[in-house]
Each structure stands twice: as C-alpha cells, then as structure tokens.
Structure 1
C-alpha cells in the first residue's frame, strides 16, 4: 500500500484557527509549535505548564501560562508535548478529569497511545503530528520557510473530522510544506524511535568507541 503524503493543499488552516489550542508543556516541541501556530494566525493559544523556567520563557514569548488543569479545561485541542515518561502520570492526575467533551488530543510521540497507556474518553479524537526533529529545528525551518519531515496519523476518529483537524495543525506548524507530511501511525513512530534509541544508536556509539580505542 503506497504511503500517503499530505501537502498544504490538503489542509484547511482555518480549522485550527477556529479552536482554542491548549499546550501541555512548553519545552522542546511545545515552544516551537506554539510559536508556529501563532505566526500562522492561531490566536486562541493557552499554555499549560508548571511554574518553572519553561513558564518564564512562555511569558517572555508573550503568552500567559496557566496550570495544566486550567489549560485542559479551556482547550478544544490538547497538544500533549511533555516527555513520554511523564505523560501517563500527568494525564491521570491533571488532565483526564478536566477534558471537555469532543476534544482532540494531539501527540508528537506515539509511545503512550500505541501502547494504550492513556485512558481516553470515548468522544475524543486522537491524532499524531510528529516532527522528526527537535523543536529548535521546527521553529527555525518554519521561520525560514523550509520544509521538514513529519509523521501524521489519525488514531481515533470519534467526530468523523479528525483527519481534517490533524492536517490543519500540521499545516499551521509548517509540516505540510515542500515534500509534505508522511502518513504513519503511533505504533510505527514508536517502533522507529525505540529501534533508533535501543539498537541503532548504541551500535553507532560502540563503533565510535572501538575506533577511538
């Protein structure tokens, strides 16, 4: 089956512009994607973060960060952009009980969705928009109007419009430019990351060490 590639023409950025987008985390990906969305005309952005250096950065960038719980209560779209290892705990303690009906969850890493570690509401859409580079690169390439690789997928389509929402977000962060965003899945994305982290890079480092020795 051929891989589906999505470009700017496949997306309607006005969909995400009409929503309130709540960011859970303002770190590596959170900051880059929030700034890209804002520069794409998404005005209703809420930053949910604990009161730390990332929240300070959000204020310096012109946002008014609130608690994670409050951000979730406000958002139609939840951008879950905290580290994989923290997501399940934060989801259970701060997110799950505050989710509005018919909300869309967006992940940039497929791990917790692929392995069913999050208790998802029945009426929630779940999509993945996963840039294949660190946040600084996502931001720099958006500003320079340069394409970058990104995986997208629909994992749960309760509304019937999850793909349109997914592509709108991908377009607004600059991921559908140029060669486009690649259709994938959370399981594929998680598998690629695990293979790279546990098999490929350890072998590369071992080769470097042997060469040095």
Structure 2
C-alpha cells in the first residue's frame, strides 16, 4: 500500500474511533466520519465497504495497540505470573486515552460477536493467558495441580469482566483498585501459601502506578 493510501486509511480509522467513542456504533454515521477525517467519500469506500467493516478494522487496530502495550510487560525472562498481573493492569488502565483502544473495547461489547475483520479477538488473548499460565506452573508459582487452560481462561474472564462491569456502572476510575482486590481473592487458590503475600504485594505495587488522582 502506498504511503498516501496508508495515511488516508489511518485518518479514517482515527476519525471513526473518535465517532464510535462519542456516539457508539449505532449512532455514528459514515458521513460524519468522512467529514472528521477530511477524506472523500470515495476514499473511505476504497478502504472500507461498510460501517461494519470499518468498525471491525478499528477493533483490529485497537487490539494491535493493546497487544503492543501488553507485550511490554513480559519477555522470556519475566516470571509468567508477574506478566499476567502486569497485563491485567494494562487492560484496565483508566488513564489510557488511546481512542483506538477505547473504541475497540466499546465496539467489542456493542457489536456482540467479538470479531475484528477476521478471527475472534478473545481467541488470541485466551491463548496468551493460557500459555502464561502453563509457564507459571512450570516455574513453580502456580500450584502444581493447576490446570493452565482453566486458570488462563479464568484470569482473562476476571480481567474483562471487571472492565465490563466498570463500564456498565460508569466506575472506570475504580478499575485499578478492583483489579487489586480481584487478585487478592484469586491468588490464594492459585499459588502456595508461602507466595501469596509476595504476589499480592506485587499487584499492590502495580496498583500504585495506575491510581487516578481524585
């Protein structure tokens, strides 16, 4: 794709994300997105054949940015459980003002089938969580009898469930504290007693980085 076409496509995605964040999927119109992006109607339809396709492209871009932010939390040297805790805070960070990420979360909920332009978004995240859970068992941080597939899926559900409830109740500012509470509840069932305090304190330290000033 030529540089000009890439720039045009990105301008449409940014304008669409702003519109979807402001009005939601149903109320956001293509004409308003065209006006805000500064592109022609023909240019928009060259890249996106419908509002549905445009929204799914916004989901793809927002999720790619979220993946990039989460990947900064771990590498092969990072203990897997610390990575899982770090990722959970990135996903619920209330100070995140990236419109494409915010729009992706909103559209995933409003459109209901949790798809971008291709795969089901949660399939990839489930695989990531399950792989980290398996490594946490190997590293001895999760109990030896932990089923990594079940634990990984449960922790993903915990993270997104916490966020969805906060969105539904307009309490996004409370997300970091709620995530810390969730880890305090879940950790005793996942790690040996001798390690509960360490990982609870690790989560509390992450909390201090995400607190929103009142």
TM-score interval, normalised by the smaller of the two chains: under 0.3
TM-score, scaled relative to structure 2: 0.27
More strand by share: 1
> Rg: which structure is higher?
2
TM superposition score normalised by structure 1: 0.27
